[in-house]
Structure 1
Amino acid sequence: MPLMALAATTIDLTVRDMGSVVDRNLHYLDTDLTCYGEYPEWVDYRSFVSKKFGCVIGSCKGISLPKHSEGADAALRAYLSTFTPWELTAFDEMTRSAKSVIVALNYYLGNAPLQEACRASVLEELENRGKWGTVEGDHDVSDRTLKMAMASSKFFA
């Protein structure tokens, strides 16, 4: 089912307006979850993207926006603009599922395997689960849904 949904999305939506899909993914950059904490995984993921695209993906604390280098948005836009509609749909699903364009880039480009990318996208939640416990029928289902969405998107791309 996930592959059919990705195919239908590509044919019905992405092909018609690829620019909007690129914009939607870049919108995550300003509020990317990896920019709001100093978990070692997030630092490594930001570093990978910074090196890969020749920019600085910043981080911040508190209620403020991270400061990225001036060319960060343009570099990522140029890269995403090279995608086929099929690749862009898959990447968009990764970004939305992980709630992070930085995690999606690390997974898509092979810097992070599935398990690590999925874990990185829920690190704060995992910390809270450690304190307050896991809700069966919710957390376990969302974990599997995330893995299914990420894996099927990578296969689709």
Structure 2
Amino acid sequence: MKRFYRDVAVTAVSVRAGSGSFGILLDLKAVKTPAAELFAVPTRALADAIAEEWRMQEERVLPTTMPLMQMAATAIDGVRKARETTIEDLLRYLESDVLCYRAASPPELAARQAALSDPWLSWFQKDTGIGLAATTELVARPADGAKALLRPRLLAMDDFRLVGLQVAAGLTGSIVLALSMAKGVIDARDAYAAAEVEAVWQAEKWGADAEAEARRTNLQAELAAVQRFFVALKQL
């Protein structure tokens, strides 16, 4: 759509508990979500970052260039109304986490997968008490009770952190990498490297076509946006 505003500002808002305390004004009019809910986020840092996305729009407003706005709006319109579904979807990654998969061959690929995945699987076990074993099979087998251990931690998260996890896990195929990004112990670059081991190895060995390169570039940009989202949530 065509840009319809000149000025962008951040404002404190009063909304129901848990839904945020900072909103965005476009020419003094409050931004609403696609579902017509009042747009409000929990930290000033996130509001400032989203306001900057609005300021950067030129003649046309392009939602694809506003990833933080999209994630925050999804938290309000989507996750808030479907927390249980969101959490169950995240828990399923325990059965399919990309870090658990190892190539049966060649050995050099399996070794690279282990080098980039095992440290994060170890971190996850120390942080959550959940051990995820490496496998060459199509379905991983988490330890008994793994979902029961992780569910309370997810339930304790607010809607915004849950949507960050949802996006990060969807991009990487890994609840381990998503949680490590949420806690700030891995950055977007290293998360990409761990998630895309086989794709990068294949490109190095056989070369990459333009479509594959574009996909990887987009993935890196999307993960960088998730990292900015999590960082802004930690700042007041």
In the alignment, is the contact (CA less than 8 A) between 2:87 and 2:151 conserved in 1?
yes
Scaled by the length of structure 2, what TM-score is found?
Answer: 0.61
Q: Give the partner amino acid of 2:95.
A: D
Alignment partner for residue 15 of structure 1, among 70, 80, 93?
80
Q: Which residue pairs with 2:136 in the alignment? A: 61
1:156 deviates by 4.9
Q: Which residue pairs with 1:148 in the alignment? A: 224
In the alignment, is the contact (CA less than 8 A) between 1:57 and 1:67 conserved in 2?
yes
Scaled by the length of structure 1, what TM-score is found?
Answer: 0.88
Partner SS, residue 39 of structure 1 = helix
CA deviation map 1:70-104 (0-9, x unaligned): 12111111111110011111111111111211111
Which structure's relative contact order is higher, taking Cα pairs within 8 Å and 6+ residues apart?
A: 1
> Within the alignment, does 1:52 sit opposite 2:127 as a pair?
yes
For 2:232 and 2:85, the matched residues in 1 are separated by 20
For 1:135 and 1:155, the matched residues in 2 are separated by 33
Q: Give the partner amino acid of 2:134.
A: S
More helix per residue: 1 or 2?
Answer: 1
In the alignment, is the contact (CA less than 8 A) between 2:80 and 2:159 conserved in 1?
yes
- Pair 133,106 (structure 1): closer, same or farther in 2 beyond 3 Å: same
Partner SS, residue 97 of structure 1 = helix
Q: Give the partner amino acid of 1:31.
A: S
For 1:156 and 1:24, the matched residues in 2 are separated by 24
In the alignment, is the contact (CA less than 8 A) between 1:87 and 1:156 conserved in 2?
no
Is the radius of gyration larger for structure 1 or structure 2?
Answer: 2
Give every structure 1 segment of 4 or more consecutive aligned residues whose post-TM-superposition deviation is greater than 6 Å: none
For 1:156 and 1:82, the matched residues in 2 are separated by 19
More strand per residue: 1 or 2?
Answer: 2
1:48 deviates by 0.8
For 2:169 and 2:232, the matched residues in 1 are separated by 14
Alignment partner for residue 128 of structure 1, among 195, 202, 211?
202
In the alignment, is the contact (CA less than 8 A) between 2:168 and 2:223 conserved in 1?
no
What are structure 1's unaligned runs of at least 5 residues? none
Q: Give the partner amino acid of 2:181.
A: Y
Count matched residues: 156
What are structure 2's unaligned runs of at least 5 residues? 1-65, 103-112
Q: Which residue pairs with 2:171 in the alignment? A: 97
For 1:68 and 1:20, the matched residues in 2 are separated by 20
Report percent identity of matched pairs: 23
For 2:227 and 2:79, the matched residues in 1 are separated by 20
1:51 deviates by 1.2
In the alignment, is the contact (CA less than 8 A) between 2:169 and 2:178 conserved in 1?
yes
